Structure 1
Amino acid sequence: MSTATGPLTEAEAQALREAVTEAVLATPAGLREALGSDPDAALRLVAATRVAAEESSRLLREAVAGARGAGHSWDTLGRLLGVSKQAAQQRFATPTRPAPEDAAGERERVLLSPVTAFDEMPLLAERGRRGWHVVDYGTLYHLLEASDTQWEHHRQPWSPGARGRLEAEGWTLVKTMTFPWGYYKRPLGLPPEA
C-alpha cells in the first residue's frame, strides 16, 4: 500500500493522532476541564505534551531499531520517514556496538552479531544452554556473558502487564523495556552443556 503514511491507512494514522491527543488531554487529572478557566492549565498542557513528544520520539527510535533488526534497509526507512536514507541513518543509527570487556574480575563476554529478529532467539537458546546470557543488546547484536549455569531467554512484545507477570515467573529484564519488545532471561540451575 502506498499512501502518505506508508503502510498505514489514512484512517489508522488519524486514529493514532486522535489517541495521542486524547492521552495528553485525559492523563493529567482535570486538565481538559481546566483549560477554559485556569491559566496554569495551559502550562500543564505544555508539560503533558512534552512528555508525550519525548515518549513518541523514544518509540520511533526503538521502532526504527526494530525494523533494522528485522532486516529493513535505511533506504526503505528513509522513504517511510520522508527523508533520505542518509538522513535516516544519521538520525537513528545506533552508536558503535560495545566491545566485550576483559577487565580483571569480569566474566568472559562475547558479541553475538549480526543477528536479526528472525534468527536471534534460536541462537540465544543455543548459547544459553552453553552457559551464556544476554547482558546488553541493540540493533543487530547481543552482548553475552559466560556463567556457570544454563540460561533461557525470552523476547516479549511490549504490553503494560508483561513485566510483572514475567518477573513473578523468575524472569529478569535485561535492560529497560524497549519498543516493540523487551528481552528477559532466567537461569536454569543446570551446568552448561559442552
Structure 2
Amino acid sequence: MPTTNEDAPLSPEDRARIREGIAAAVLGGTQGLAESLEHDPAGYLRLVDASSVAAEEAGRLLREAVQGARAAGHSWETVGEVLGVSRQAAQQRFAAKAPITEAGGPERRILTPLTAFNEMAALAEAGRDGWHLVGYGALYHEVEASDRPWEHTRRPLAGGGRQRRLEAEGWIPVGEGWFPWRYFKRPLHRDDSGRSDG
C-alpha cells in the first residue's frame, strides 16, 4: 500500500495536542478534581483513579485503531513501524482472538473477512436475509438469525445526543463501539406483499 502524507507519523505538535487533551480530560472529567489537588490528599487518589480510566480507555482505543488499520488493509509490518515495534510484536499484542458464540438459541454466523470498506455492504445483505448484528471485532461481524429483515448503520463515536436521536428513530446500539465507529441496527417491517418498509 503506497504511503501518503496521511500515513506519515504525527507531527510533534499533533502529539503535544493529544497529550494535553488527555491530561485535560483526566483533570476535567471529574468534578472538582483539579481544585482538590491544592488542599486534599485524597484528591491524588482520585487523580490516580481518573488516570487509570484514561489509560484503560487509551489502551482500548489503540487496540481498536490497530484492528481498524488491519481492516483497512495495512500489514502487521506497517502497523509495527508506526508503533515502533517489530511485526511480530505488533501481531502478538494486537491480533484479535476468535469470537465466542453462545450455544443454543438462534443460529449465529460469522461474516469474515471484512474490512472497514466492505462491512456495511455485508451487513446490508445479511440484514435483507433476516440476520442482525450481535457482535463484532477485527475483520468480522457476528450476526444472528431472526424472522424479519434488518438494517444496519455505523456512525462515528460521538456524544450522547447523536445516539439519543438514533435511538428515538428506533435504532438499537450494538456493543460499546469499535473505534472509530458505533454500530446500530433496527428491524424492518414487512407489508402484506412481503416487501420491507423503512
After TM superposition, the runs of 4+ consecutive aligned structure 1 residues lying more than 6 A away are none
Instruction: Tell me if the contact between 2:137 and 2:178 (Cα under 8 Å) persists in the aligned partners.
Output: no
**Structure 1 residue aligned with 2:12:** 10
Cα deviation digits, residues 11-48 of structure 1 (max 9, x gap): 11111111111111222222222323222222221111
- TM-score scaled by length of structure 2: 0.86
Q: Which amino acid aligns with 1:49?
A: S
CA distance in 1, matches of 2:126, 2:138: 19
Structure 2 residue corresponding to 1:70, chosen from 72, 78, 83: 72
CA distance in 2, matches of 1:42, 1:95: 36
1:135 alignment partner, SS class: strand
Is residue 2:133 matched to residue 1:131? no
2:132 alignment partner, SS class: strand
**Structure 2 residue aligned with 1:144:** 143
Instruction: Tell me if the contact between 1:150 and 1:192 (Cα under 8 Å) persists in the aligned partners.
Output: no
- TM-score scaled by length of structure 1: 0.87
Matches within 5 A, 1:66-145: 66-98=68-100, 103=104, 106-145=105-144
Structure 1 unmatched runs, 5+? none
Structure 2 unmatched runs, 5+? none
Quickly say closer, same or farther: Cα 1:26–1:98, change in 2 above 3 A: closer
**Structure 2 residue aligned with 1:164:** 164
1:102 is displaced (CA, Å) by 6.2
1:17 alignment partner, SS class: helix
1:2 is displaced (CA, Å) by 9.8
Is the strand fraction higher in 1 or 2? 2
1:7 is displaced (CA, Å) by 3.0
Instruction: Tell me if the contact between 1:131 and 1:147 (Cα under 8 Å) persists in the aligned partners.
Output: yes
C-alpha RMSD over aligned residues: 2.3
Is residue 2:196 matched to residue 1:187? no
